[in-house]
Amino acid sequence: MKWSLTACLILVIAGTVWSQARSRIIPPNGLYLRPSSLANQTPEFNWDDIVSEWYVGEEDHYLRGKFYQKDTGLLIRPLVVCLADGCFLLDPIRTDTLIQYYAPLIECGAICVYRIEREYPIQVPIRAYNPVNGRPFIESSVERRTSSEKLMMWRPETNEHALLTTANYISWTGADDWTTMRESELIKGIRTYNLIFVHEGKPENQD
């Protein structure tokens, strides 16, 4: 039997329920090397165990940094970095040899939500016109770079990733079929799902 989102919302109306559940959903601070570590909220490294250099970008809110094991000096490549202000997921594509990039987790729990930014090249046409007859006499193109943002869902327990869409949301949460929802509504639904997951275990999703 599919769970009803409306029924779930009733369970989180009280502020005390929200605060207690929220404190359990936010993972402990530290570095997580595997998806299962985050799912079990057991970081492999505490901040006292490492030496780090990092900062959070003002515009894209990405965390950029390097992390080293304090005792050995070895470079660590954590999958998730959790700080007092939130958690960040390693971007598997946006990488270079000097720094590691981490996308902020908007929601963290049984289902996480993160916003990922991508840059890609586009060809911009350029034309020069004859001032006498108005016809183009030079046609070419130049390469420019533009960027786009996408909201993604991630399930640490199974390490599945998917675009945040209504169809994927329904598939992952077992919610009642709805018409297409806005991104803000999907995020609120996932937040509620995470709270219910914490209090009563995974909702049933059976036909």
If pLDDT is split at 50, 70 and 90, which confidence band does 59 have? confident
Answer whether 178's CB lies under 8 Å from 172's CB. Answer: no
pLDDT score of 91: 87
154-203, pLDDT tens digit by residue?
999 999 999 999 999 999 998 886 777 888 999 999 999 988 876 555 44
> Could you identify the residue written with the tokens 């046609």?
139
Which amino acid appears at position 79 of this protein? Answer: L
Lowest-pLDDT choice from 56-70, 109-123, 125-139? 125-139
pLDDT score of 7: 35
Q: What angle do CA 185, 188, 190 make, to 5 degrees?
A: 110
Answer whether 154's CB lies under 8 Å from 80's CB. Answer: no
22-40, pLDDT tens digit by residue?
444 578 999 999 999 998 8
Output the pTM of the full model. 0.70
Q: CA–CA separation, 163 vs 114, rounded Å?
A: 10
67-108, pLDDT tens digit by residue?
999 999 999 999 999 988 789 999 877 766 678 899 999 999
pLDDT score of 49: 92
pLDDT of 122 > 60? The answer is no
Q: Is residue 191 classed as helix, strand or coil in its secondary structure?
A: helix
Burial 106-122 (b: 16+ CB within 10 A, else e): bbbbbbbbbbbbeeeee
Answer whether 101's CB lies under 8 Å from 90's CB. Answer: yes
61-72, pLDDT tens digit by residue?
889 999 999 999
Residue 22 gets the label, from left (phi > 0), alpha (psi -120 to 50) or beta, of alpha
Could you tell me the CA-to-CA distances from 71 to 1, 29, 48, 49, 155 in Å, in that order?
52, 19, 11, 8, 32
